[in-house]
Structure 1
Amino acid sequence: MLSKCLAEIEKHKGADAVSAPVCVRVWFKGPLFVPGKAVVRFWETAPEATAPSHRHCGFQMEEHSMGTPCIVGEISRLD
């Protein structure tokens, strides 16, 4: 699930969004039953006041039919 999320972010935002050096934090919220369909959503998040030179991207994968998050995470990238 995590690799699919990172691949979608890379596809839409470019390889720099997921290339090192990055910090990826992930919380697995529940199973994704197969066969099944999932939706990956991602968004820009505001950097913390203590780290203004970082870019942040939040993401989640949801089960298509229920909209329930299976995985939630964030990527922090140092510019």
Structure 2
Amino acid sequence: MFLGFFAWYAGLARGGVAQVGQLQLTQPVLTLLWSAVLLGETVTPASLGAALVVLVCVVVLQGERRRPRRRGGPRSARP
């Protein structure tokens, strides 16, 4: 785990905290996947549904960050 922190912080430095930090939200999904593959855990429909909700939230948040923001508002526009 100690060595994993070096890789994590190196990735944060290269990709930016706001962008790479969102990937941490996929941790429950990856934990579910690896527990099924490595430990033979049973994956229930409820856990798959929760994993899907987490992934959808991550995708939506990433899309919001990539969308350009408009500066000003209706008051700042002059004819």
Which TM bucket (shorter chain)? Answer: under 0.3
Structure with greater helix share of residues = 2
Structure possessing the higher radius of gyration over alpha carbons: 2
